[in-house]
Amino acid sequence: MCMECVTAFADVKMVDLAKEAFNTQNYQLAAEIYERTIKENGPSLDLCMGLANSFACWGHFEKAFDAYESAFRLGNQTPSALKHLVSALVNAVKRDNIVSSANMSKSCMFTCTICRGLFNEPVTIPCGHTYCRKCFERDESKTCRTCGTIHHFVRTSSFQSNVLLTRLLESWFPNESKASRLKADGNRFFERRLFEKSVELYSLAIELSPQDHLLLSNRSHAFASLDRFREALQDAERVVKLRPDWPKGYFRKGCAQFGMDLFEDAIVSLLQCLALDTEVKAAKDYLSKSLHKILSPFPNDDVKALALKNQFNPSLLTQLIRSNFSTALLLPHITMDKLEQLQGIINETLSSATNFVLEQAEVKPSFNKDEQCSSGHASNGEGENTDSTITLKCASEPSSRRESPIIFLRGARSRSQSPYGRNSDSNRKRAHEPITTQAPLSPQETPQKQQKSAESIPMDISGTLLNVDDFECSLCYRLLHEPVTTPCGHSFCRQCLDRSLDHQSVCPLCKGSLVEYLAERRQTRDESLENIIKTYFPEEYEARKKVHEDELVELAKMGEDERHHVPIFVCTMSFPGVSCPLHIFEPRYRLMVRQCMESGTRQFGMCISAGGDDDDFSEFGCMLEIRDVQFFPDGRSLVDCIGGRRFKVLSRGHRDGYHTANVEFLRDVAIGENDLEAVNKLQDQTYQEVKSWFDNLPGMQRNQISRHFGGFPAFDADFQGNPNSTAWLWKVLPILPLDPRIQLTMLAMTSYKERLEGILRVLEYIKRRSS
């Protein structure tokens, strides 16, 4: 092999080694190998791109851009080739900025946490949180932004709009509701690419609701589609002024700036968007395109490019990156006063978003015909939302170039410092800027994804519009308590709906099928409705809550005392310490089991029928403790129970359709010392007789008993101190071929000795019959 071939083979091996180092995230080693290879063999497109990507992922953005410039001079590249650079920039923004996710989780109770606007066709999803229908449909992850629950199989098309919430929005916010309908019409024209007509409808809607950031965002998009980028930019700037915590506003601004060939400004806006939400794919695409436009060399015959050449060139971006994303920027020991320009803008964006939400919580703006829920932060007019304009200029930029306006987006009363200045204590106090002592966000998390429980911000509603009867449950005719909303859009008290579904699996109002709802066994409340009731009807809410708590206390008291009221299930014999599985299908007993679980008692009485009359049940019974409940999709359930205390029925009653009884709990009388020896001998004899009888049973019959009852019980000699004496005796009773009346007599006995003697007599009778 010639020397040239050997050298080429070695170069290929080195490049493969660099790629392997890059794939294992050892970017420093990859960069060193690429640098050495370029130095020894000269630059090539693949080597320069590999070196640039390694520097970018390593965090050396200044060197990365130098390498990208070299690569672009050696050959044409597509915007997708800059994916590693885009990811590195986004990760740098995400890693180096601190946002309080708790503050970001606060939102108005009438607004969607995805679009930040007034609910439009509100849909309540299974976890109990409400979103605009289209907002949730467009979210491919199907993740609830409030609690983080992923709803893989939820089809919002099968959900009807929340009827009560829709009626409230139309009544309490008439202008905004009309504007929402105009927006929907404008959206339909936009989808048909009739952009002029959509702009006309959006403008009419904005006249009704001038503070609606969604309308301005949509009109900005329509303007951009008509290549009217200056008007699109004006609308986008109004959007970010109204909602500095909404990533899409910065995205709209970046798109308009991109259309105006303001690529550096577009990069800043898009990074602001990605700093608030790193999952906006469209923002990453436009960021790639903007970087590509700046890095690409201008062909000499491109008249437009030549005209722009005096405005910027790749070296300008290099200087911008050098001053904003140096290697030291990513190190944790660097303090805030060393961050300048672009990084300061990103920090300012996040700080403004946080301040904006904090101020929403502090200020309770009133609603009139010109205001809507999403504009609560601007309740005192635009005058409070002062804009500061800062110029982002590179050192070598010609003085004749027009300054690039970078709008600092602040909430009301926010006066954060300029990124050019030092972050003094006085500036921080003046800006209401929180001290950044919290840990930074995880690279995989966005502020929206970290939300667990959204805090609702109340809005002042005219007293003439507030009517507590609007929140009445149509089943119990009381104020909604723990409201739930069905897929058909109707709302009920959770307990009321459960009781209704015990009888039929349809909606009590529209008779729509709730089989799927029943199968999911949902226990989540409609948080929007519950928050509205808590906020605007606090006294009525507390009174309704107390009624519910009193009912639970009454249920919880069942079985606490020696004589008390307990629910009764009339079915089969049960014994202390013996497992008793039950198949529950009757509506009344489904309700009884659910109430036992909700109250925390997890127990009820079991008696057998004493005659043909349903109200006539046995005088004695046994308490059953619920160990587990397995629900079926149609509402039936398997309840795993075990026997507990025995009782005597003193009086009978009814509750919610099932039986109840005042009972007295039984316990065996203590055995005197003089009788202990005799009872011990009697116990040994009885156990041996029963064991002998069991062992002499036919094999098939013995196996069936063992499978059903778990085999023959082990001997337990300790019968003192136990209210039911020994456990083995109660496990034997279901095995013996006894009439239920005899079993009931054994259950009612309070003398252990008499119970043993009774079993011996039964065994003697069985032997006589079999002989």
Domain boundaries, the chain: 3-77, 101-118+173-430, 462-545, 563-666, 673-770
Q: What is the mean pLDDT of the chain?
A: 76
- Give the residue-averaged pLDDT of 684-690: 88
The lowest-confidence range among 14-28, 441-455, 532-546 is: 441-455
| CATH number belonging to domain 101-118+173-430 | 1.25.40.10
Compare 452 and 165 and report the one with higher pLDDT. Answer: 165
- Give the residue-averaged pLDDT of 658-676: 86
Q: Do domains 3-77 and 462-545 have the same CATH topology?
A: no
- Residue 359 is predicted with a pLDDT of 62
Query: Could you read off the pLDDT of 333-351 as tens digits, one per residue?
Result: 323 333 345 666 766 766 6
The DSSP string of 417-475 is PPTTS---HHHHHHTTPPP--SPPPPTT--TTTT-SSPPEE--B--GGG--GGGGB-TT
Count the residues in the chain. Answer: 771
Identify the band that residue 771 occupies on the pLDDT scale cut at 50, 70 and 90.
Answer: low
| CATH number belonging to domain 3-77 | 1.25.40.10
- Residue 250 is predicted with a pLDDT of 94
Confidence check: pLDDT of 463 > 50: yes
Nearest Cα residue to 482 out of 389, 551, 384 = 551
Can you tell me which residue has the tokens 């006894």? 738
- Residue 479 is predicted with a pLDDT of 92
Query: Could you read off the pLDDT of 736-767 as tens digits, one per residue?
Result: 888 888 889 989 998 888 888 888 888 888 88
Query: Could you read off the pLDDT of 111-136 as tens digits, one per residue?
Result: 888 888 888 899 999 888 999 988 88
Asked if 208 contacts 175 with a C-beta cutoff of 8 angstroms, the reply is yes
Confidence check: pLDDT of 491 > 60: yes
The lowest-confidence range among 3-7, 168-172, 606-610, 687-691 is: 3-7
The lowest-confidence range among 370-384, 539-553, 606-620, 698-712 is: 370-384
Query: Could you read off the pLDDT of 558-600 as tens digits, one per residue?
Result: 555 555 788 999 988 899 988 899 998 888 888 888 888 877 7
Nearest Cα residue to 69 out of 331, 303, 295 = 295
User: Going by C-beta distance under 8 Å and a sequence separation of 6 or more, which residues neighbour residue 546?
Assistant: none
- Residue 111 is predicted with a pLDDT of 85
Selection from 6-15, 275-284, 711-720 with the highest mean pLDDT? 275-284
Place domain 462-545 in its CATH homologous superfamily.
Zinc/RING finger domain, C3HC4 (zinc finger) (3.30.40.10)
Asked if the 563-666 domain carries CATH number 2.30.130.40, the reply is: yes
Confidence check: pLDDT of 244 > 60: yes
- Give the residue-averaged pLDDT of 325-329: 39
What span, in angstroms and rounded, lies between the C-alpha atoms of 619 and 652? 10
Confidence check: pLDDT of 729 > 60: yes
Query: Could you read off the pLDDT of 589-618 as tens digits, one per residue?
Result: 888 888 888 777 888 999 998 876 667 899
- Residue 432 is predicted with a pLDDT of 32
Asked if 239 contacts 213 with a C-beta cutoff of 8 angstroms, the reply is yes
The DSSP string of 294-342 is HHSPPPTT-HHHHHHHTT--HHHHHHHHHHHS-GGGGSTT--GGG--HH
Percent of the chain with pLDDT over 70: 73
- Give the residue-averaged pLDDT of 215-237: 95
Confidence check: pLDDT of 449 > 50: no
What span, in angstroms and rounded, lies between the C-alpha atoms of 296 and 77? 8
Compare 383 and 217 and report the one with higher pLDDT. Answer: 217
Give me 177's structure tokens: 């509701």
- Residue 595 is predicted with a pLDDT of 82
Residue 545, exposed/middle/buried by CB under 10 A (0-12, 13-18, 19+)?
A: middle
- Residue 360 is predicted with a pLDDT of 58
Give me 459's structure tokens: 């809005």
Nearest Cα residue to 357 out of 110, 93, 108 = 108
User: pTM of the predicted model, to two decimals?
Assistant: 0.60
- Give the residue-averaged pLDDT of 220-244: 94
- Give the residue-averaged pLDDT of 640-662: 88
Handedness of CA 324, 328, 331, 337 (dihedral sign): negative
Selection from 401-405, 439-443, 667-671, 714-718 with the highest mean pLDDT? 667-671
In 3-state terms, what secondary structure has residue 537? coil
Identify the band that residue 306 occupies on the pLDDT scale cut at 50, 70 and 90.
Answer: very low
- Residue 63 is predicted with a pLDDT of 86
Asked if 144 contacts 151 with a C-beta cutoff of 8 angstroms, the reply is yes
Confidence check: pLDDT of 674 > 60: yes
- Residue 96 is predicted with a pLDDT of 42
Query: Could you read off the pLDDT of 52-63 as tens digits, one per residue?
Result: 999 989 888 888
Identify the band that residue 74 occupies on the pLDDT scale cut at 50, 70 and 90.
Answer: confident
Confidence check: pLDDT of 219 > 90: yes
- Residue 314 is predicted with a pLDDT of 47
Dihedral, 6, 12, 17, 23 alpha carbons, nearest 10: -170
